[in-house]
A and B are shown apart, each in its own frame.
Chain A
Amino acid sequence: MALLQISEPGESPEPHEARLAAGIDLGTTNSLVASVRSGIAVALPDADGHTLLPSIVRYLPGGAIEVGRVAQAMQAKDPKNTIASAKRFMGRGLKDAHADNTSYDFIDAPGMLQLRTAAGPKSPVEVAAEILKVLRQRAEESLGGELHGVVVTVPAYFDDAQRQATKDAAKLAGINVLRLLNEPTAAAIAYGLDNAAEGIYAVYDLGGGTFDLSILRMSKGVFEVMATSGDAALGGDDFDHRLMCWIVDQARLAPLSAEDMRLLLFKSRAAKEHLTGNDAAQISAKLASGEMVSLKLTRQVFQDMTQHLVAKTLTPTRKALRDAGLGVAEVKGVVMVGGATRMPHVQQAVGTLFKQAPLNNLDPDKVVALGAAMQANALAGNRAAGDDWLLLDVIPLSLGLETMGGLVEKIIPRNSTIPVARAQEFTTFKDGQTAMAVQVVQGERELVADCRSLARFELRGIPPMVAGAARIRVSFQVDADGLLAVSAREMSTGIEASVAVKPSYGLVDEDITRMLRDSFDHAKDDVHVRALREQQVEGRRLLEATQAALAADRTLLGADESKLIDTELAALEQALSCTDHRRIRGNIERVNKATEDFAARRMDQSVRRALAGRDINALNI
């Protein structure tokens, strides 16, 4: 049976006016951009025909920035200013940064760490933004216009801070983020739509720096994630690093300089890739001292030294199966994603665990970007009739609060379908207590110390009562991007505190503003121009959406309401041509206020219609 045909409730764009949309896979090792052209998702190449952009950024003294292959060529010569694998540091503090990446000068900044470069200290968010800018430009040149919106992918196992950091990077790159999409889910869309897959599938995604395992049920155009698990610090990089340690050991090398380390890492990666199709590899390198390294490595030796890393991926795999309540026999296929899955011993281990040969019919480097492009196309409102599908994703890690004794009270368990809201009531510990510290944590362990702290805020002004009498309701809300917002309210007084979960590890808004200012050429563009453009885009979108809604459902409005909305729309349209972003904002808010009830009624109507059609549809199964 085909899925029910449903028109876009938001609005129906003119078919000839497809909005330019793209999907970006911001990878640890490589990044790429893809877009749907004539109904088919394609990866967009640069001027030289390369689709993969090495995720490497080099900062030169004086402010020049190189991204991609140019930067890659310089990484052994200029290791401190040439940042690779910045994704591993997104939303991370210094204590999280692995000791193996010692070729960088880390700075212990509050929240997220920074890297010292010739162009000054850089946050991983700024590094990622440089990569995103290059891809955005590539897409705009290739598609011939400004991008309406982009879907940016993140590892499914990314926590709130890492997701927020990714979204901040996109914002910094001037990208309108339609959605943050989990990488394995993006791959499942590309695989599922291409192969008309039905049933339960696992996606095994071993990238450069992250590992994800997601289990999805694909049924009649619905992609439902049942469970996801992973390791946000495990990937192909770790295999390279292990091999480099082997080289140092075998060749009895003295402690390496940053330059030599990067050189040997590069050689290690080349040898690893060579061993995918060959039984042996020759490793030759000339160190800065002039010392020559020359070693022969067989596939067997490489597999033996990295087998523990492969085994490390199987633990989350089993966990996801358990969480989904499934045995391997119920999994119809295992989709392999990420360049690191090319390694034969990875293929073998996955095949043994699932008792079936993994599926390798999509390019593991591109499938995530292709799926993201399909999702972007759909979200931008370009989907063709009948080309209707829906994505239901989950949060990877449980969210909770610290309670007495440093224990975690889970509010939203992992693998809950998003968006999700949950509230729980807490009370005071002492007589006369007038304030309460709320510590928000993410993770599975029972002790706060073993989980990641996302934010800490205080609810003050609780009226003095005996211990246990106050009722403080804490609400968690996770949106469709997987981002959390928390609020707390004392029920008898209505005193409220809320927090967008950013402070502990993400960037505060002032940081973003500073980075935006730093990144602009003042003559061409500035923060004001940017704010104006944002409001104009938002205003135009609202205008179009409301006009389409009126065209479809004006009958839901009384004469006065109808007239008021028309008046406010006309005022907004007029404001759009002015240069005062605050005035546009004001008009946007007036339209929003005037259409509040209208939106609710339209939603009710659409749900009611869908349910009414249900019984008829039941006959077709």
Chain B
Amino acid sequence: MNLDINQNHFKLFGLPEGFALQRDELDRVYRILQSQVHPDRFTHAGENEKRMSMQWAMHVNEAYQTLKKPIKRAAYLLSLHGIDPKIETNTRMPHNFLVAQMEWREALEEANEARDGVRLSALETRLQAEMAVLYREAEAELDQRHDYAAAATTFRKLLFLEKLGEEIHYAITELDD
């Protein structure tokens, strides 16, 4: 096995390449890897080994986060297939999706103005349900149909919703402060 710090993250974790993920296995291998490379294991080693440990630990953390978070995992899979979905953000999104986006934004703005935490939480729950549907679509496109162009569109939709989710999260936090 050729161990290269730049190798495919799925290979590093010994997981099949795909959107469907064995989360327990990912967590387990992550811990095995960190228990080997973490700087805490090298506090009295030489400078080379310390530097190496730092690089590896940072890389393992990055790879773990990429595979763990569905949106990052989808982006990573697309990039492995030579698609950079972000370059195409100006691609036209389906009309009904854009309309739905505007409705989401209005709902967020209203709840925010009313400083209504209950409505914000309800929005968050609805958003998560909608994202779950899109993730199932992405899984079918990436793992079964291998239709990466369709997956890229789904990913862009998810990107919109993810951003919205962050804004809702931020609004809830601000309200609590």
Same complex for A and B? Answer yes
A178 within 8 A of B: yes
Using Cβ atoms and an 8 Å threshold, which residues of chain B touch A322?
Answer: 169, 172-173
Given A319-B176, A390-B31, A607-B3, CB of A11 within 8 Å of CB of B62: no
- Could you give, for residues 516-535 of chain A, a 1 whenever the CB lies within 8 Å of some chain B CB and a 0 otherwise? 00000000000000000000
Given A391-B40, A480-B38, CB of A607 within 8 Å of CB of B33: yes
Among the 9-residue stretches A35-43, A88-96, A114-122, A414-422, the one with 4 or more Cβ atoms under 8 Å from chain B is: A414-422
A220 within 8 A of B: yes
| Residues 55-78 of B contacting A (Cβ, < 8 Å) | 56-58, 61-62, 64-65
Q: Are B3 and A318 in contact (CB under 8 A)?
A: no
Among the 9-residue stretches B44-52, B99-107, B129-137, the one with 4 or more Cβ atoms under 8 Å from chain A is: B44-52
Distance between Cα atoms of A607 and B44 in the complex (Å): 19
Chain B residue with minimal CB distance to A393?
B40
Distance between Cα atoms of A8 and B38 in the complex (Å): 11
Among the 9-residue stretches A130-138, A198-206, A608-616, the one with 4 or more Cβ atoms under 8 Å from chain B is: A608-616
Q: Are B32 and A4 in contact (CB under 8 A)?
A: yes
A477 within 8 A of B: yes
Question: Chain B nearest CB: distance from A421 CB in Å?
Answer: 4
Using Cβ atoms and an 8 Å threshold, which residues of chain B touch A598?
Answer: 48
B177 within 8 A of A: yes
Q: Are A419 and B43 in contact (CB under 8 A)?
A: no
A599 within 8 A of B: yes
Question: Chain B nearest CB: distance from A492 CB in Å?
Answer: 20
Using Cβ atoms and an 8 Å threshold, which residues of chain B touch A8?
Answer: 41
Distance between Cα atoms of A600 and B50 in the complex (Å): 10
Q: Are A595 and B43 in contact (CB under 8 A)?
A: no
Distance between Cα atoms of A545 and B45 in the complex (Å): 6
Q: Are A599 and B3 in contact (CB under 8 A)?
A: no
Distance between Cα atoms of A319 and B31 in the complex (Å): 26
Q: Are A599 and B48 in contact (CB under 8 A)?
A: yes
Q: Are A545 and B37 in contact (CB under 8 A)?
A: no
B34 within 8 A of A: yes
- List 6 extra interface pairs beyond A10-B41, A544-B44, CB under 8 A: A420-B61, A480-B57, A599-B49, A600-B52, A607-B33, A614-B28
B26 within 8 A of A: no
Chain B residue with minimal CB distance to A598?
B48
Among the 9-residue stretches A363-371, A374-382, A464-472, the one with 4 or more Cβ atoms under 8 Å from chain B is: A374-382
Question: Chain A nearest CB: distance from B3 CB in Å?
Answer: 4
Q: Which of B35, B62, B172 has the most CB of A within 10 A?
A: B35
A509 within 8 A of B: no
Q: Are A592 and B48 in contact (CB under 8 A)?
A: yes
| A–B pairs, 18, beta carbons within 8 Å | A4-B32, A9-B41, A10-B49, A315-B177, A319-B176, A322-B172, A379-B43, A416-B65, A591-B46, A595-B46, A599-B49, A599-B51, A604-B3, A606-B37, A607-B3, A608-B3, A614-B28, A614-B29
Using Cβ atoms and an 8 Å threshold, which residues of chain A touch B58?
Answer: 419-421, 477
Given A392-B34, A607-B56, CB of A10 within 8 Å of CB of B45: yes
A603 within 8 A of B: yes
Given A4-B32, A315-B176, CB of A611 within 8 Å of CB of B39: no
Using Cβ atoms and an 8 Å threshold, which residues of chain B touch A618?
Answer: 28
Q: Are B52 and A610 in contact (CB under 8 A)?
A: no
Using Cβ atoms and an 8 Å threshold, which residues of chain B touch A390?
Answer: 31, 34-35, 38, 40
Given A390-B34, A479-B54, CB of A417 within 8 Å of CB of B43: no
A162 within 8 A of B: no
Question: Chain B nearest CB: distance from A473 CB in Å?
Answer: 16
A149 within 8 A of B: yes
Q: Are B34 and A545 in contact (CB under 8 A)?
A: no
Q: Are A378 and B172 in contact (CB under 8 A)?
A: no
Q: Are B34 and A380 in contact (CB under 8 A)?
A: no
A228 within 8 A of B: no
Q: Are A541 and B44 in contact (CB under 8 A)?
A: yes
**Which among B37, B47, B62 is the interface contact of A603 at CB below 8 angstroms?**
B37
| Residues 147-189 of A contacting B (Cβ, < 8 Å) | 149, 178-179
A452 within 8 A of B: no
Q: Are A603 and B33 in contact (CB under 8 A)?
A: no
Using Cβ atoms and an 8 Å threshold, which residues of chain A touch B52?
Answer: 599-600, 603
Chain B residue with minimal CB distance to A615?
B14
Q: Are B44 and A610 in contact (CB under 8 A)?
A: no
| Residues 383-397 of A contacting B (Cβ, < 8 Å) | 388, 390-392
Distance between Cα atoms of A10 and B52 in the complex (Å): 11
- Could you give, for residues 90-128 of chain B, a 1 whenever the CB lies within 8 Å of some chain A CB and a 0 otherwise? 000000000000000000000000000000000000000
Distance between Cα atoms of A413 and B1 in the complex (Å): 34
Q: Are B43 and A149 in contact (CB under 8 A)?
A: yes
Using Cβ atoms and an 8 Å threshold, which residues of chain B touch A599?
Answer: 46, 48-49, 51-52
| Residues 7-43 of B contacting A (Cβ, < 8 Å) | 14, 28-29, 31-43
Which 4 residue pairs of A and B lie closest in terms of their CB atoms, listed nearest first? A599-B48, A10-B45, A480-B39, A379-B43
Q: Are B45 and A420 in contact (CB under 8 A)?
A: no
Question: Chain B nearest CB: distance from A270 CB in Å?
Answer: 33
Q: Are A417 and B40 in contact (CB under 8 A)?
A: no
Using Cβ atoms and an 8 Å threshold, which residues of chain B touch A606?
Answer: 36-37
Using Cβ atoms and an 8 Å threshold, which residues of chain A touch B62?
Answer: 420-422
Q: Are A479 and B39 in contact (CB under 8 A)?
A: yes
Using Cβ atoms and an 8 Å threshold, which residues of chain B touch A603?
Answer: 37, 49, 52-53, 56
Using Cβ atoms and an 8 Å threshold, which residues of chain A touch B36?
Answer: 6, 9, 606-607, 610
Using Cβ atoms and an 8 Å threshold, which residues of chain B touch A459?
Answer: none
A596 within 8 A of B: yes
Distance between Cα atoms of A417 and B57 in the complex (Å): 10
**Which among A378, A422, A614 is the interface contact of B32 at CB below 8 angstroms?**
A614
Distance between Cα atoms of A420 and B64 in the complex (Å): 12
Using Cβ atoms and an 8 Å threshold, which residues of chain A touch B53?
Answer: 603
Q: Which of B41, B49, B56 has the most CB of A within 10 A?
A: B49
A456 within 8 A of B: no
Q: Are A596 and B43 in contact (CB under 8 A)?
A: no
- Could you give, for residues 479-513 of chain A, a 1 whenever the CB lies within 8 Å of some chain B CB and a 0 otherwise? 11000000000000000000000000000000000
Question: Chain A nearest CB: distance from B79 CB in Å?
Answer: 16
Q: Are B35 and A4 in contact (CB under 8 A)?
A: yes
Using Cβ atoms and an 8 Å threshold, which residues of chain A touch B33?
Answer: 607, 610-611
| Residues 411-470 of A contacting B (Cβ, < 8 Å) | 416-422, 444
